[in-house]
């Protein structure tokens, strides 16, 4: 049984929980587009707003950061790549390595933008039931021609439900490897292989079991979805988000 993770829905009664899933998807699209066009001042203000909203919704922010620790490693690699590939007057030289102030600013800006998008996704997934996400995606894709919106919505719903299972499986595999003393090996590639291959094998086995169970129950994408009804508060929140986007673009 998968344990509750930051990739799971956490029940609550905040305005973020009660907002229509379609509007929350629209919020993510709008804010993501704005994030790509703002700089440090706007990013700092938006970060404060997002953290305040997450704390108001009583989401487990500390455990969320713990879940994203591997993403922080990716951000560090992106930061280093940006720093080392951006030219400009050097502020630090060491043999063939040259670091410029432009590279530092560029790397920090890119990583900050990606981190905010991840925080947005965390808030969305933690406050929206998977069934509502499926219904919202299906509703948004329905007007688009030649796109099987029901199948895509079902795939997204399964992904959201399967991510906690994968994370739980990764924990079990890591504990099993630790009990066998694998962590005492100094070669990181060896440890990664010993963790990765069993995790992939067991993940695929769980996926096969899920497919067999769905076929045995005659599962189809034509199912009754939860009814999505826009309330007055949804339009008010949308208005607030639009004003926030305009303010961020003006501040940058």
Q: Which pLDDT does position 113 carry in this prediction?
A: 92
- Report if residue 143 sits inside a domain: yes
The mean pLDDT values, 10 residues at a time, for the chain of 252 residues are: 60 87 91 90 91 87 71 84 77 71 87 90 86 85 82 78 75 81 75 80 84 81 76 92 91 71
Question: CB of 127 within 8 A of CB of 119?
Answer: no
* 133 closest CA partner among 4, 23, 13, 3: 23
For 219: left if phi > 0, alpha if psi spans -120 to 50, otherwise beta; the answer is beta
Do 117 and 238 have their domain in common? Answer: yes
Quick check: is 7 in a domain? no
Q: What's the DSSP call for residue 242?
A: H
Q: Are residues 137 and 121 in the same domain?
A: no
Distance CA(66)–CA(4), nearest Å, equals 13
Same domain, 39 and 82: yes
* Structural domain contains residue 5: no
Q: Which of 195, 201, 203 is nearest to 174 (CA)?
A: 195
| pLDDT attached to residue 27 | 92
Q: Are 111 and 219 contained in the same domain?
A: no
- Same domain, yes or no, for 46 and 59? yes
Residue 8 lies in a domain: no
Query: Could you give the C-alpha distances from 103 to 13, 39, 79, 110, 113, in angstroms and in order?
Result: 43, 15, 9, 11, 15
* 30 within some domain: yes
pLDDT of residue 31: 93
| Calpha distance 75→105 (Å, rounded) | 14
| Cβ contact 59:126 at 8 Å | yes
How many structural domains compose the chain?
2
Residue 28: give the domain boundaries.
13-129+230-252
Is 88 in the same domain as 196?
no
d(CA 165, CA 170): 9
Q: What is the pLDDT of residue 1?
A: 45
For residues 19 and 123, membership in a common domain is answered with: yes
Among 205, 195, 206, 201, CA closest to 172: 195
Please give the model's pTM, rounded to 2 decimal places: 0.76
Angle of helix 21-35 relative to helix 40-56, nearest 10 degrees?
160
CB-based burial label for 191 (10 Å; 0-12, 13-18, 19+): middle
> Is residue 2 situated within a structural domain?
no
Sign of the torsion angle spanned by Cα atoms 64, 68, 72, 78 = negative
pLDDT in tens, 140-185: 888 888 888 788 887 877 777 777 777 777 778 888 888 877 777 7
Q: How far apart are CA 175 and CA 73, in angstroms?
A: 21
97-100 and 90-94 beta bridge pairing: antiparallel
């Amino acid at each position: 049984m998968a344990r509750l993770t930051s990739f799971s829905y956490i029940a609550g009664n905040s305005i973020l929980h009660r907002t229509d899933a379609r509007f929350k998807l629209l919020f993510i699209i709008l804010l993501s587009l704005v994030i790509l066009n703002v700089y440090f001042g706007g990013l700092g203000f938006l970060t404060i707003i997002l953290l305040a909203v997450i704390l108001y919704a009583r989401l487990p922010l500390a455990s969320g950061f713990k879940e994203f620790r591997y993403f922080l490693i990716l951000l560090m690699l992106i930061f280093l790549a940006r720093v080392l590939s951006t030219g400009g007057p050097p502020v630090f030289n060491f043999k063939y390595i040259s670091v410029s102030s432009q590279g530092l600013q560029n790397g920090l800006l890119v990583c900050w933008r990606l981190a905010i998008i991840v925080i947005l996704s965390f808030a969305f997934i933690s406050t929206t039931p998977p069934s509502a996400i499926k219904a919202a995606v299906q509703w948004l894709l329905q007007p688009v021609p030649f796109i099987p919106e029901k199948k895509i919505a079902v795939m997204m719903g399964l992904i959201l439900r399967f991510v906690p299972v994968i994370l739980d499986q990764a924990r079990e595999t890591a504990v099993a490897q630790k009990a066998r003393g694998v962590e005492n090996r100094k070669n990181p590639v060896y440890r990664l292989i010993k963790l990765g291959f069993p995790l992939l094998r067991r993940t695929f086995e769980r996926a096969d079991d899920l497919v067999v169970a769905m076929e045995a129950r005659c599962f189809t994408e034509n199912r009754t979805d939860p009814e999505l009804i826009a309330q007055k508060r949804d339009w008010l929140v949308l208005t607030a988000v639009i004003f926030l986007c305009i303010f961020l673009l003006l501040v940058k």
